[in-house]
Amino acid sequence: MNFDWDVVWTSLPRLLQGAEMTLWLAVVTMALAIPGGLVLAFMRLSGIRAFAFAATCFVEFFRATPLILQIYWVYYVLPAYFDIQFSQLSTAILGLTCNVSAFNSETFRSGIVSIRAGQWNAGRAIGMADGQIMWYIVLPQAVMRVLPALASTWVSLFKDTSLVSIISVADLSYVSLKIRSETYRILEVLSALAAIYWLMGYPQAKFVDWLHRRYKVAE
Binding mask 79-118 for another protein (x = CB under 8 A): -xxx------------------------------------
Residue 109 vs 133, nearer CB to another protein:
109
Please give the residues from 13 up to 72 whose contact with another protein meets the rule CB under 8 A: 60-61, 64-70, 72
By the 8 A CB rule, do 115 and 142 touch? yes
Closest CB 202 distance from another protein, rounded Å? 5
Contact 127, 136 (CB under 8 A): no
Q: Measured from the CB of residue 208, what is the shortest distance to another protein in angstroms? A: 8
CA end-to-end distance (rounded Å), the chain: 59
CB of 158 to another protein, least distance (A): 8
Is the Cβ of residue 74 or residue 134 nearer to another protein in the bound state?
A: 74
* DSSP per-residue letters across 5-50: THHHHHTHHHHHHHHHHHHHHHHHHHHHHHHHHHHHHHHHHS--HH
160 binds another protein (CB under 8 A): yes
